[in-house]
Amino acid sequence: MTIPHTSFRDSVERMFTHAAGLMDLQPGLEEKIRVCNSTYTVRFGVRLRGQIHTFTGYRSVHSEHMEPVKGGIRYSLDVTQDEVEALAALMTYKCALVEVPFGGSKGGLCIDPRAWNEDELERITRRFTYELSRRNLISPSQNVPAPDMGTGEREMAWMADAYKRLHPDDINAKACVTGKPRHAGGIEGRVEATGRGVQYALREFFRHDDVMKKAGLTGTLAGKRVIVQGLGNVGYHAAQFLSVEDKALITCVIERDGAISNPQGINIDSLRGHIRATGGIKGFVGGDYRENGLAALEDDCDILIPAAVESVIHADNAERIKCKLIIEAANGPVTADADAILKRKGVVIIPDMYANAGGVTVSYFEWVKNLSQISLGRLERRHEEARARMLVEELERISADTGTNFELAKGFKEAFLHGADELDLVRSGLDDTMREAFKKMKEVWMSNPKVDDMRTAGYVVAIRRISNVYGSLGL
Ligand code: NAD
């Protein structure tokens, strides 16, 4: 992989500084918002395979202007302090932009999760949780981790259980992490939330002709050629929803071991099955394979969805990128240098702090559900159904009494009589969040000529909201 010229944290800080420079912030506030409050590094040993193995982990708290602070835990050998701090900063801005009441945090463990079996990973995760708990870096009221690259429901369940054992008298213990399995206090729709949010963000983008025009796009998502990098949690769900529900063509998928292309569109479920069975995309029969996956980022397409790691589009390849629109499903896939080049080329970027905010949005719903100890929709669902039934029966009675004999379409009747369950409410809340945040960003982007792209608009909205909190604190 080409070494990016700018570190991930530098990139985030440059983008932040560009936006903050357009605002009239009180002296010193820009610096206060920009800096990362603290980063805790822990090294701990776990006896595995007959010897002690030492692991290094981080939990960074970027901003506590709202608490708890929130952010995923990443398992990867590439985890560094720089990366964790950049990701924590992005969490602060993301939460502010989509109006979830959290500060920003992020964690990581330097580990290759594929190198350890399930039993070993559980012991490592439980020990990491213990170290975080000792310093209040996992707690329902102060710091709430979630899944990120290399972690998922399983790890969150282990963390929640480890926390509960350490704090048996905490009635809110379940809310110490989000992204848990449903049976362990999770919420419907969290696994796919980030990918679903990418879909909702794109749908919203395609509702605005003026914004589409900036990218040189017209029409709908149907038939648009899409390249996806990374077919993990976020990339798989985004690709699956876009291809099955919006009829977009996923013309290329890039993974660690290469790229698969098919101009007719790739069957995402089949490819996912192949990856699960073989460990990679090589040998998949539904498209043409090439070993140099990174080069495929430069293929012609309408929409490019980087959904793997940061800094994949940088000063050395940005000039050759041919898509019209990039939606940053991953955090930080475009460096600050590349961002400037792409802007000059007219490529529109839907920024990470908005594009992948679906995860933290649904995590917020899960946290609220855990604190209220009741599932979403439990109180009102049957009541809603009863009222809908009353209306339908009354209409049917009038129809019979007056001899008009009209009939409601079967599909309509079933849908109307269905009270909203947890998944319906989660989707509705997520859709609303993505639409509202988009409109806010667009308003700032379109109304201020100095705000030259959607990313800057996102930062302006976020910084304004954070500075309002500091203002109300008298800082
Ligand atoms: P994941 O571990 O489930 O999937 C990552 C995928 O990317 C894997 O399939 C992996 O093989 C692939 N990959 C890794 N390095 C690659 C490379 N160099 N080239 C091509 N493919 C590569 O992780 P995820 O949860 O889907 O996260 C992906 C990105 O989305 C990360 O940047 C993460 O911070 C961001 N994100 C995730 C969530 C979430 O809810 N999981 C929320 C917000 C943002």
Return the residue whose CA atom lies nearest to atom 17 of ligand 1.
256
Omega within 30 of 0 (cis) for the link into 68? yes
CA–centroid distance, residue 337 to ligand 1 (Å): 22
Residue of the CA atom closest to atom 31 of ligand 1: 330
Measured CA to CA, the distance from residue 19 to residue 11 in angstroms comes to 13
Annotated binding residues, written as ranges, equal: 70, 94, 194, 233, 363
Q: In this structure, how many other beta carbons lie within 10 angstroms of the beta carbon of residue 43?
A: 10
Instruction: For residues 365 and 318, give the distance between their C-alpha atoms in angstroms, rounded to a whole number.
Output: 37
**Residues marked as binding for substrate?**
70, 94, 363
The residue whose C-alpha atom lies closest to atom 30 belonging to ligand 1 is: 330
Phi-psi region of 185 (alpha: psi -120 to 50; beta: other; left: phi over 0): left
CA distance linking residue 371 with residue 193, whole number of Å:
20
Contacts of 412 (CB under 8 A, 6+ apart): none
CA distance 272 to 259: 13
Q: Is 107 in the pocket of ligand 1 (CB under 6 A)?
A: no
Q: Is the CB of 113 under 6 A from ligand 1?
A: no
Residue 85 near residue 162, CB atoms below 8 Å: no
Q: What whole-number distance in Å separates Cα of residue 325 and Cα of residue 307? A: 14
The catalytic site residues sit at 106
Residue ranges of the annotated binding site for NAD(+) are 194, 233
User: Does any ligand 1 atom lie closer than 6 A to the CB of residue 111?
Assistant: no
Among protein residues, the one whose CA lies closest to atom 8 of ligand 1: 232
Q: CA-to-CA distance for 110 and 74, rounded, in angstroms? A: 8
29 Cα: distance to centroid of ligand 1 (angstroms): 33
Residue 2 has what pLDDT? 47
- With the most atoms of ligand 1 within 8 angstroms of its CB, the residue from 12, 73, 149 to mutate is 149
- Residues in the chain where the model's pLDDT stays below 50: 1-3
Q: Is the CB of 186 under 6 A from ligand 1?
A: no
What is the structure's pLDDT at 285? Answer: 97
Residue 280 CB partners (closer than 8 Å, separation 6+): 255, 256, 257, 258
114 lines ligand 1 (CB under 6 A): no
Go through 133-143 and write b for each residue having 16 or more CB atoms within 10 A of its CB, e for each that does not.
beeebbbbebb
Ligand 1 atom showing the smallest separation from residue 147 Cα: 41
**Alpha-carbon distance 164 to 185, whole Å?**
12
Residue 80's SS3 state is coil
Cα 73 vs. chain centroid, distance in angstroms?
A: 13
Q: Verify whether ligand 1 is closer than 6 Å to residue 307 (CB atom).
A: yes
Q: What is the structure's pLDDT at 405?
A: 82
Q: Name all domains of the chain by residue range, CATH numbers in brackets.
A: 36-184 (3.40.50.10860), 193-358 (3.40.50.720)
